[in-house]
Amino acid sequence: MHPNELLKRFATGEQEFTGLKMPKANLAGADLIGIILNESDLHDSSLVFAYLNRASLIQVNLAGADLSGVSLSQADLTRADLRTANLHGAMLQEANLKEIDATLATLLDANLIAADLRGADLSGAVLVGAILRGANMRQESKGHKTNLQGADLSYCDLANANMKGADLARANLVNANLQGANLREVDLRKADLSGANLEGAFLTEANLTGAKLTRANLSRTNLSRAKFIQSEVSLANFRESVMTNISLSYANLTGSDFSLARMNYADLSRSNLTEANFMETELTEAFLARANLTKANLTQANLLRADIIGANLIGTIFQQTTMPDGQIRN
């Protein structure tokens, strides 16, 4: 079918075009609101600034298509093929994007507020500056998770997004907004979260081994049982966070702020805590063996039953500090 015929038939009220074969079609600026194009082939087509709000595009092939500026709000793209597609500035609010394949796609500055991305493959995709507030990316079942491996999410707005169990290994989240996000059991190994805002986020059992979080804001977050092994976390803010049973062994935590945090049973062995702030921090039964606490501030910290054997305490500040044996040190 020729694009002009499609537009003509749609204009007369016809909506059902399931299984349409129209690769490399030019539908730029077309008004196709509510159209049904399930299982259609539109690969390498141009839909620049087209209107596809509430369209049904289930299992449609849009690989390599130019969808920049397209309006797909509340559209259903379940299991659509969007590999290498260009969705720069696309409007995808409340769209159903479950199980899409958007590998290496461009979603620069796209609007994905409250979109459903469960089970989607966005590995290697570019989402710089995209808005994903309230988006749903939670893992539905074992082995069925949203894949964002190596994706560029720098400067993204992911506030209150549900990303439980998502795969973000090696992802770029520099200066991303993750306030209040659900990041439980997320894989963030070797991800870059430098300057990211994670205030109030939930990271219980998240894996951040080898991740970079320089100057990140993790205040008032829940990090229970999270792993930060060998991570770069200098000058980060952990103020008032829940960090029980967290693993920070071998991590670089130079100059980071842990004041008022709850770090009972935390593993900080062999970590670099030079000039870190532990004022009024709960460190009951924490493991600090061979940690570097040079010039760290432990004013009013609670180290009851903590293990500090072999720790470097040169210049460490102890003022009204509860030591491992229960004695108060000034």
Q: Note the pLDDT tens digit of each residue in 198-240.
A: 999 999 999 999 999 999 999 999 999 999 999 999 999 999 9
302 strand-pairing partners: 282, 322
> 48 CB contacts (<8 Å, ≥6 apart)?
28, 29, 66, 67, 68, 69, 70
Parallel, antiparallel, or unpaired: how do β-strands 328-329 and 321-322 relate? antiparallel
- Give the residue among 72, 81, 73 at the shortest CA–CA distance from 99: 81
Q: Note the pLDDT tens digit of each residue in 50-100.
A: 999 999 999 999 999 999 999 999 999 999 999 999 999 999 999 999 999
5 C-beta neighbours (distance < 10 Å), count: 10
What's the mean per-residue pLDDT of the chain? 97
Q: What SS3 class is residue 124?
A: coil
45 strand-pairing partners: none
Are 147 and 163 in contact, with CB atoms under 8 Å apart? no
- Give the residue among 147, 222, 123, 227 at the shortest CA–CA distance from 178: 222
In total, the chain counts a number of residues equal to 330
Distance CA 86, CA 111 (A): 14
Which tokens sit at 37?
């194009």
- Average pLDDT, integer, range 112-132: 98
- Average pLDDT, integer, range 136-141: 91
Q: Note the pLDDT tens digit of each residue in 290-323.
A: 999 999 999 999 999 999 999 999 999 999 999 9
At 143 the pLDDT is 73
Are 24 and 4 in contact, with CB atoms under 8 Å apart? no
Alpha helices in the chain (DSSP H): 3-11
Which tokens sit at 240?
């008032």
246 C-beta neighbours (distance < 10 Å), count: 29
At 140 the pLDDT is 83
Superfamily (CATH H level) for 1-111 = E3 ubiquitin-protein ligase SopA (2.160.20.80)
pLDDT band at 142 (very low <50, low <70, confident <90, very high): confident
**71, amino acid identity:** S
Which tokens sit at 155?
């400067």
User: What whole-number percentage of the chain has pLDDT above 90?
Assistant: 98
Q: Where are the domains of the chain?
A: 1-111
> 230 CB contacts (<8 Å, ≥6 apart)?
209, 210, 249, 250, 251
At 141 the pLDDT is 77
- Is the pTM value of this prediction over 0.85? yes
- Average pLDDT, integer, range 17-45: 97
Rounded to the nearest 5 degrees, what angle is found at the Cα of 63, between the Cα atoms of 97 and 50? 70
pLDDT band at 330 (very low <50, low <70, confident <90, very high): confident
At 317 the pLDDT is 98
How crowded is the C-beta side of 29, counted as CA atoms within 13 Å?
A: 1
Are 52 and 34 in contact, with CB atoms under 8 Å apart? no
- Give the residue among 245, 267, 173, 282 at the shortest CA–CA distance from 253: 267
- Average pLDDT, integer, range 164-177: 98
Residue 44 clears pLDDT 90, i.e. is over it? yes
pLDDT band at 30 (very low <50, low <70, confident <90, very high): very high
pLDDT band at 102 (very low <50, low <70, confident <90, very high): very high
Element housing 202 (H / E): none
Pick 142 or 9 by higher pLDDT: 9
* Three-state secondary structure readout of 30-69: CECCCCECCCCECCCCECCCCECCCCECCCCECCCCECCC
